Amino acid sequence: MSANKNSKLALLGGKKAIPDGTIKRWPPVGEIDRKYVLKALEGPSYTYGPNCIALEKEFAAWNGNKYAILTNSGTAALHMAVAACGCGTGDEVIVPAYSWTSSVTCILHHNAIPVFVDIDYDTMNIDPAKIEAAITPKTKAILVVHLHGLAVNMEKVRKVARKHNLKIIEDACQSHGATFKDKKVGLWGDCAAFSLNHNKCLTAGEGGIFVTDNEEILNSAKMLWSFGETRKPNESRDYHAYALGWMYRSCELVASFGRAQLTKLDGYLKTQEENAMEFIENVKDIPGLIPPIVPAGHKHIWYNITMHIDAKKLGYKGKDTELRDGILKALAAEGAQCNIWQHYILPAMTVFQAQNAYGKGCPWTCPNAQKVVYNPLDYPVSQRHCDTHFGMTMPFRAPNSRKTAKMIAGAFKKVFENLGDLGL
């Protein structure tokens, strides 16, 4: 009998497996962060300026892209990608049925229409084998999401895109540094979007970065980014709108923090990998728990460690969500910071069921659009994932260590070995 069998669950009044204060906050802020931000405070401008320009160049160099544009969010960078790839009224863009809402609402922002494709259960990414069946004469692009830090199999996506002459947009908001076949995300498609939100592996508090190697796509993205103009604020502006434009710029204080954090990014990713491997090694034999997998040819950067519960293996005959939620509650009581990342598959969300984003049915009733049906039952793998998954983000980030990861694994063992006490 395991020692954990004799440990009373914290949910039932026992001692926490992970004491309060063990898991350290993200991101680590140090002297270099203060140096960059304070210098920006003393600078000549707080809007788009030298730190913004420097971060664009430094991130492009780090990722291997020719061009980068700093934005005020990853969502803005995604919208720019949709517009820059020529997706407009009535055009269709293929997307995974499970992701964050911005991966799809960015398509609506430019009056284009999302068409969903089911995911692969093991990788949690779009299933490349199902993309071609979703293509219609209206399809303009494929938007892939490298979810939770794991790249999509981009060779398979590229093969379909080339066959049908489609653009590829990469949502790399969670996957800075992830690779497929030793090539980083953001280098496989026509353009890509990264996020600098507080939770991201590279954070500036908020913000995003649009990247591309195509000058024509770059110029199209810049128009949307800055009022429909064709020149950046640091260039000689003619203050003339040439196309529909937003104001998606960022500012010096955000950029200065992002620059400081970029100097530490490679170290962060190394720590995340070490902690993830320690955790997975210690929980891989827990019955009923399915840890994340990394297919051959992929390098995961562990933005999230997302797992599944196997109810059948545990002999549970009720609803998957009830079992998962009960386990989640017990883990939280032990001090393990677990959560459900996304509660709904995208096609089930109200905006798609109602097909009324802008009012009067737009963009689905806009000129050039064709009828699209969103039946949630068409995406069974996405729904199964939604009902059985949960994950952890911050506990495996720097400055947390392998010792912390092992302690978290101990909390998992304790809960799973005492499931009978939960009455599930």
Q: 171 CB contacts (<8 Å, ≥6 apart)?
A: 74, 78, 99, 102, 103, 143, 144, 145, 146, 192, 193
Domain boundary pick from 263, 285, 307: 263
**Where do we find the tokens 């203050």?**
239
pLDDT at 222: 93
Query: What letter would DSSP give residue 120?
Result: P
CB atoms within 10 A of CB 20: 7
Q: What is the pTM of this model?
A: 0.95
Take residue 258 and report the two structure tokens written for it.
Answer: 């992002």
Gap between the Cα atoms of 269 and 274, Å rounded = 9
What is the tens place of the pLDDT at every residue in 397-412? 999 999 999 999 999 9
Give the end of a domain, one of 197, 228, 263: 263
Do 44 and 137 lie in one domain? The reply is: yes
Q: Which residues, given as ranges, of the chain have pLDDT below 70?
A: 1-6
Q: What is the DSSP letter of 247?
A: B
**DSSP notation for 394-419:** GGGSTT--HHHHHHHHHHHHHHHHTG
Residue 351 lies in a domain: no
Domain that holds residue 96: 31-263
What total number of domains does the chain contain? 2
Instruction: Provide the residue type at 186 as one letter.
Output: G
Tokens read off for 149: 């830090």
On whether both 325 and 396 belong to a single domain, the answer is: yes
What is the model's pLDDT at position 214? 98
Q: Is residue 375 situated within a structural domain?
A: no
- CATH code, 173: 3.40.640.10
pLDDT in tens, 190-235: 999 999 999 999 999 999 999 999 999 999 999 999 887 777 777 7
Does residue 251 sit within a domain?
yes
- Which residues fall within 8 angstroms of residue 128, CB to CB, at 6 or more apart? 152, 153, 156, 157, 160
Characterize the bridge pairing of strands 389-392 and 305-309. antiparallel
Both 182 and 331 in a single domain? Answer: no
Examine the domain organization and report whether 273 and 414 are in the same domain. Answer: yes
User: Quick check: is 363 in a domain?
Assistant: no
Tokens standing for residue 59: 């991130």
Q: Are residues 56 and 179 in the same domain?
A: yes
* Residue 197, pLDDT score: 97
Residue 423's pLDDT is what? 85
Token couple for 121: 């259960």
Q: Tokens 């949630």 label which residue?
A: 376
Q: What is the CATH number of the domain that holds 414?
A: 3.90.1150.10
pLDDT at 147 (0 to 100): 98
- Co-location of 217 and 154 in the same domain: yes
Looking at the fold, whether 272 and 311 belong to one and the same domain comes out as yes
Contact 319, 148 (CB under 8 A): no
Asked if the structure places residue 365 within a domain, the reply is no
Claim to verify: residue 130 and residue 241 sit in the same structural domain: yes
Q: In this structure, is residue 348 part of a structural domain? A: no
End-to-end CA gap in the chain: 21
Sheet containing strand 338-339, edge to edge, reads 289-290, 305-309, 389-392, 338-339
The whole-number pLDDT of residue 4 equals: 54
On whether both 104 and 151 belong to a single domain, the answer is yes
- 250 vs 83: CA distance, rounded Å: 19
Give the residues across from 167 on adjacent strands: 141
* Same domain membership, residue 205 and residue 270: no
Residue 352 lies in a domain: no
Are 293 and 224 members of one domain?
no
Asked if residue 356 is part of any domain, the answer here is no
User: Does one domain contain both 228 and 287?
Assistant: no
Which of 237, 263, 289 is the C-terminal boundary of a domain? 263
For residue 208, the one-letter residue type is G
Q: How far apart are CA 49 and CA 58, in angstroms?
A: 14
Contact of 117 with 93, CB cutoff 8 Å: no
Q: Which residues contact 209 (CB under 8 A, 6 or more apart)?
A: 55, 56, 59, 68, 69, 70, 71, 77, 193, 194, 196
Query: Which pLDDT value is given to residue 2?
Result: 45
> Distance from CA of residue 72 to its chain's centroid?
16
Helices in 263-357 by DSSP H: which ranges?
265-283, 320-333, 350-354
